[in-house]
Structures are given as structure tokens and as C-alpha cells.
Amino acid sequence: MLLMDDYSLLTMALFAGIIFVSGLVHGTLGLGFPLVATPLLALFVDVRSAIVLTLLPTITVNVVSIVRGGRWRDSIGKFWPLAVYAVIGSAVGSWVLIISDPAPYKLLLAALILVYLGVNRLHAGKMQWIAANPRWSMFAFGLTAGIASGTTNVMVPILIIYTLELGLATNAMVQVFNMCFFAGKIAQIGVFTGAGVVGPGILLATAPLAGVALLALLLGMASRDRLPTDTYRNVVKGVLFIIAMTLIVQFFVQT
């Protein structure tokens, strides 16, 4: 079980800074909290510990994003089965993470980041089977996204591919992302609690990090319309690329 006493005040301050930056990104772009926070934390701890540290902050960010987003009929009303499949996948992925060596998941996390960075190169029509088979495609992408979330805390690259192919509006995409993130985190907490990886003490200890994430999220939301989004997005992508390369180098150096 992860013990917060294992970290010094300076280290916890570093974690809080990472959480703040990640919350700011999520508030400004509507997504990105676990995508930024997990690899940054994984530079200092293993992926399993990074996921535990972000459990409560991620749920906080997701709930607020869902409530603030509105227009639930176009997102949650249509795509709630996607979250159900994500729950199943997240439970499976979380169990795999518990029983296996967490070290290789740094490499998988880096790979998912690179997939995310390259997903904008996709052109509509390359995966026509998604729209032609709505039930099976929802199952396949929801389950896969959940497994990715359970093992690496990152499901957004998979969900972006799915929603882009369906041509969802931006607001609906963000709502679907946060719905799936939230559902996956609830499942993960259940699995981690049952396996003794987390308990009430850890969740309580990370509550201040959730407060930091909430503050940053609200600041990001307030500045969303005042910042040049394209420039901001490009900066985030550049940082993510550097993080991915660092994780890859770190994995091979440590092994």
C-alpha cells in the first residue's frame, strides 16, 4: 500500500505543483488532467503510485467538468454504455496493474501519449466500421479505453479516435471523456480498495491534492476564452512529447 509518509514535504509540494498544472490544462482545454499528471508524476514514482496519487483529484476534476459542461442529452444520454464498458475495462486493467510489475507501464504510457499526439493526423472515413457498427464499436473502444485507464491512467487517445470518427461536437466530446474518466476511476478505486492498495487513509491524505486540482481547474475554465487556445494546445503537446521521450529513456536506463 502507498504510504504518504514515504514522501517529504518538498516532494509533496512538487506533486501539488504537477497537479496544479494538470488541472489548469484540463480547465483550459476541457481534458488532459490524467494525461498530463500521470506521466509527470511517473518521472518520480512508478505508474501505480502515480495513479493512486491522482485518484481523488481526477474524480474531482471530472465531476466539476461534467456539471459545468451541460447539454447532457447529447453526450451522456447517448453514450452512457461507453462508460459502462470503460468500468469493466478499468477494473480488468487495474487488476493487471496490481498483480504485475509496474515498471513496463511507463513505456506503455509513453506510447499512449505518442498516439494522442499523432491522433490529429487521422482523417474521417478511415474507420467507417465505427459508425456502421455502433454497438460493437462502442463496446470495443469503451473496453479498450478502460483497460488503458486501469493500467496507465490514460484513456483519452482511444476515446479521441472514437469520437472523431463519429464527428461529435467539441462539447459532447468533452462530456463523454469526463464521463468515462469518472466511471473508470470509481471502478479503479473499488479494485484498489479490495486489493488493499488504497484505503480511506490514502484518499484522505490526497484530499489536499484534490483541492489543488479543483482550484487550478476553475482558474483554467475562467481563462478558457481569454487565451489563444491553439498556441496553448501546441505548448501542451510539446511538453507531452518531451515527457514521453523522458519516460522511454528512463525505462531503458532503469532496466
Mean pLDDT of 6-35: 90
Annotate 178-204 with DSSP letters as a single string. HHHHHHHHHHHHHHHHHTTS--HHHHH
Q: Which of 7, 3, 41 is nearest to 22 (CA)?
A: 41
pTM here?
0.87
The rounded distance, in Å, linking the Cα atoms of 47 and 55 is 12
CA distances, 99 to each of 54, 89, 94, 131, 227 (Å): 20, 16, 9, 36, 43
Residue 8, amino acid:
S
- Domains in the chain: how many in total? 1
Confirm if 60 and 25 have CB atoms less than 8 A apart. no
Task: Give the pLDDT confidence of 24-46 residue by residue, as tens digits.
Answer: 999 988 888 999 999 999 999 99
pLDDT of residue 3: 53
Dihedral sign of CA atoms 217, 86, 88, 197 in order: negative
User: Angle, to 10 degrees, between the axis of helix 76-99 and the axis of helix 47-69?
Assistant: 170
Residue 63's domain comprises 4-254
Task: Give the pLDDT confidence of 196-245 residue by residue, as tens digits.
Answer: 888 888 888 899 999 999 999 999 998 876 767 677 677 778 888 998 99
Task: Give the pLDDT confidence of 86-137 residue by residue, as tens digits.
Answer: 999 999 999 999 999 988 999 999 999 998 888 766 554 456 788 889 899 9
